[in-house]
Structure 1
Amino acid sequence: MAVRLLSHELSDLCLGKPALRSLSLTSTIADALQVLKTSDDNFISVWSCYHNPKTSPGFEPAVGFSDECRCVGKICIVDVVCFLCRDENLVSPPVALKRPVSVLLPKIPALVLHVEPSCSLLEAIDLMLEGAQNLVVPIKTKPSNKRSKQQQKPSPTVTNHNGREFCWLTQEDVIRFLLSSIGLFSPIPALSIDTLNIISPNTITIEYHSPASAAIGAISRALLEQTSVAVVDSEGDLIGEISPFTLACCGETVAAAVKTLSSGDLMAYIDCGGPPEELVKVVSAKLKERNLNGMLQHFTVSMSSGGFSSASSSSDEEYSMAAPVSASPRPGRLSRSMSYSARMVRRSEGIVCHPKSSLVAVMVQAIAHRVNYVWVIEEDCSLAGIVTFSDMLRVFRENFETMA
């Protein structure tokens, strides 16, 4: 039965998936920001298209050239944040945002792969274990003759090339699909993550009082690995996290906070949907002190225009549920009660489990909180490691033959 499940075609998983929103490889970063801020998706796909090479001055087709459009990568707001944190871009963010989105793409093209709808779930898992994060799949569309010409014209941000639309599948999609038939894999799901040996000690960490700017490289790595940056105290206890997902909700101006605040203060800055007024003033003062006038102006204009959702009058009320602003979140140990139901009051509190947590429990945790990982802590709250969707997929891949 498990083998039959893994033989499912990816077209089965694409049912109900929306068409990808996308941008051309030559679009600017500002274009990408506009689309990302008006989209429900955290990522937007970037495409390279040469429908008519003869009309492209200076274009020389490579060996094996095809005029089909290809998705060459994906970007999110955190890519923009890390880009703006570079010293040369802090001087004039508006100029930096005019650069093409191609400068944001990682030098790892295998992160996004095109596959056919007939590709099996097992083949998809193998591709993901080899490093693919998104599988681009053609989807069938039913054109309607009743629509007006204006309605038939595709949205400039929907991937519709040569009459075809695409969606993409992620590790989360596959984990959700496996969870829907988890009983077929018994007794594996009931075993602890410690017993299954899938707790990775290779965590990305930064000390609570360290400058957040020291974590820029770590944030980029976490984004690439679909994990997060653990914020720990001097004893190695987990205090919280600096999550790329949370940073993406803050907009590109959070780059100013990353460059000027400590890791602990940055946690407070991104908590509860937005920054408290006191920390906004701290960021502005430090930008002015460092003569980063370009970023200061961009930051000030964005905040005054409501560029960060927390700038609303409700932010103070929301933040009252968290730690005092002046001190930022107070270092402390996580409660054991958070193992299976992490509180959502502060978004920088990591989702945690324990070594004896079952595989299925950790799967449910990750899916419920829309993250690709769960932190693993010991009884004393020290950080033991991390469990990722990749680790979970590897368990199913290594054991499916014995489950037939």
Structure 2
Amino acid sequence: MSKILPFKAVRPTRDKVSLVASRSYQSYTQAEREARLDYNPFSFLHIVNPGYKYDKEISGEARYNLVKNRYLEFKEDGIFIQDQSPCYYIYKIVDRDDQEFNGIVAAASVEDYNNNIIKKHEDTIASREVVFKDYLKTVGFNAEPVLLTYPKNNTISAIIKEKQKERAEFEFTTTYRDTHYLWLIDNPEDINAISDAFSNIKTLYIADGHHRSSSSKLLCEDLKSNNLKHTGNETYNYFMSYLICEEELKINQFNRLVKDLNGLSKEEFLIQLDTMFRIENRSIMPYQPSKQHHFSMYLDGEFYSLYLRKSNYIFNTALDQLDAQILYKTILEPILGITDLRNDNRIMYLSGKKDIVNLKSMVDSNTFKVGFGMIPATIEQMKLIADQNLTMPPKSTYIEPKLRSGVTIYEF
């Protein structure tokens, strides 16, 4: 039932791909961005940060038009080429811990998104959707795929495995010591087999890229309304996605850091926690929870374990079982007074890839007063929440793999 199509990707030439590929713009510090812009003329950062050329910060429509200009220049200079026929793209990442991610870059259907065949588990912010839609409409391309996940499929797995016996079109290692590979699937037999396999998958789930997919929906509606000859086959009816088997998805947690105790003393705070948690002081020994509904807390130079008193907490939905939701409903909102998890500047989120020592150091620096840790959510929880049309709190999951921008580009 899922409509997943091959497309004609714009991509760097083999000799330039390692120089072009970049992480998402926001993931770089200012110093890192400047170093790459200063010393690597082929970086995709030159496209998304066009003001660098004029040593000026540029925003809004003016920036979008310059992004488009830089992109066209990369094409004119032969840094980017476009495949002549539609392809599926097998993309493999081997990270520094030797974990492998194998998936397919393809075009996913906006119609499937509208019909809830592609399901989401996070809310989006309307203003961000519109901003990114306007950006896409002006620049005419998307360079960051939405991460979709699907249940294990033997046909797709076999095609991926067989193709990977051949020499990869791309193979490059990043400064993060992740190695990226790309293979093209362009023969009709394999293309039809992959398309048929996905058509028999009833549901796909968005793992990462909720704003990108919702913005693609808005873009489709916008361009459709202005196209009197709309057929449904135009490229704007689809959005670039990276589809990966749910067994290969890696989910990390986001830990929470809060700047103050909402006017409470340490003792008053612990007493209020006691209503919903069994508390144990672990002193200076770092504590990392290993079970669902168990939390770690670092406060005033000491670690604590917090075990939820289940008799005092009602589980009605899949969302109620999620530790990020439990933390919000039992501590962050009622005790610490944090109601807006997206916009309250008293809370910060720390990726679970950073260990508990990072959380400790940020509290010890007096930047934050208290930190909370939890175990990652599971793929089963994520799917159940989506199936029940519920949404997780923001920053509930840090999902891998993370693809590089500019390796495959989808034009509208």
- In terms of fraction of residues, the more helix-rich structure is 1
Looking at both structures, which has the greater relative contact order when contacts are Cα pairs under 8 Å and sequence separation is at least 6?
A: 2
- In terms of fraction of residues, the more strand-rich structure is 2
TM bracket (short chain): under 0.3
Length-normalised TM-score, structure 1:
0.23
